[in-house]
Amino acid sequence: MSTSQPIAHRHDILILFEVTNGNPNGDPDSGNQPRVDALSQRGLVSDVCLKRKIRNYVELFPPTANGKIHKILVRQGAVLNREQEKAVEATKDPEAAEKEKGKAKVKSDGDHARRVKDWLCHEFFDVRTFGAVISTGSEVMKGSAYGQIRGPAQFSFGQSFDPISPQEITITRCAVTKEEDAAKERTMGQKYIVPYGLYAARCYVSPAFAENTGFDQADFDLLVEALSHLFEHDRSAARGDMVVRGLLDFEHVGTQAESNAEQNRREAKLGCAHAHELFESVSVDLKDKDKTRPPQSFTDYTVKVDGWDREGRSTRFPGVVLHRRVDPERNPST
């Protein structure tokens, strides 16, 4: 297994993305219409949807070998309990198994459960990144404290800055599905689109939980890479044109001098500012203040990152560095 160290710095990440003439996240309880907040009519994209894009990217573009494996546990067609049984078999203690021969079957000890958890974290990128519930199959994991893995990277729902206006579009198909409909010239169908919406989502990366799963700097770099290309390899007719317009990574690095390295490590792990204060330094406003027409493109917005210089430093947050992974202010049309 890899001997690399878990990440030591906290990260708070703001993701700005847009959709044009597409459905960013359909709601199966509403006929796959775009998710909408009932009170504000602002569009929603679930955290599960965002993590699916990351899983898909890593599965398509796994990194070169770095001592870890980057398989994906939660994928289409996977049987989760089968993967758990593989982990149980791979981590059996031969001596303990020999002693158990001929005895009544009993629940395994906690040490075996820990080894199963570590094996799954090593094998699967999404387990060591997002965590997983692994107490659903083997008796080894049922009731174990290791049966629920809390991952270091957690997402909020994405939400649009302004109300969206979902539209139902009727489509036609010249082919038919059933033999008895062969005489028909065409069949009809429907799809739902959002003409335009600019959304924001947040990702929180905790080094405290990274220690539990072994999530290291290489894993974090892969997560950022996937976020930067979130929709580039997820195109479909249903999702229209989706673009990441901003990816702002607030890294907590500490405020202490080199002579006080231990205290600085604690600050970087704990965090040097509240996440909401960091996110509030980014303002997204419509240029049309009177809102006489709904936004139709990213150029209808002004995005400002207040109080941060181009090197990512701020006098208000001295222990935090801002990495503009995708710079929302660098928009030539504004």
**pLDDT tens-digit series, residues 186-218:** 778 889 999 999 999 999 999 999 999 999 999
Give me the sign of the Cα torsion angle 69, 73, 78, 80: positive
CA dihedral for 211, 57, 238, 301, sign (positive or negative): positive
**Least confident among 65-74, 151-160, 294-303:** 65-74
> For residues 70 and 233, what is the distance between their CA atoms, to the nearest angstrom?
18
d(CA 16, CA 325): 11
Asked if the model's pLDDT at residue 99 lies above 90, the reply is no
Beta strand pairing call for 320-326 and 241-252? antiparallel
Model pLDDT, residue 109: 65
pLDDT score of 187:
76
Q: Are 333 and 232 in contact (CB under 8 A)?
A: no
3-state secondary structure of 119: helix
pLDDT over 50 (residue 299) = yes
pLDDT tens digits, 132-148: 998 887 788 888 889 89
Indicate the pTM of the whole model: 0.90
Alpha-carbon span 45 to 262, nearest angstrom: 40
Looking at the predicted structure, is the pLDDT value of residue 1 above 60? Answer: no
pLDDT bucket at 334, cuts 50 / 70 / 90: very low
Amino acid at 247: L
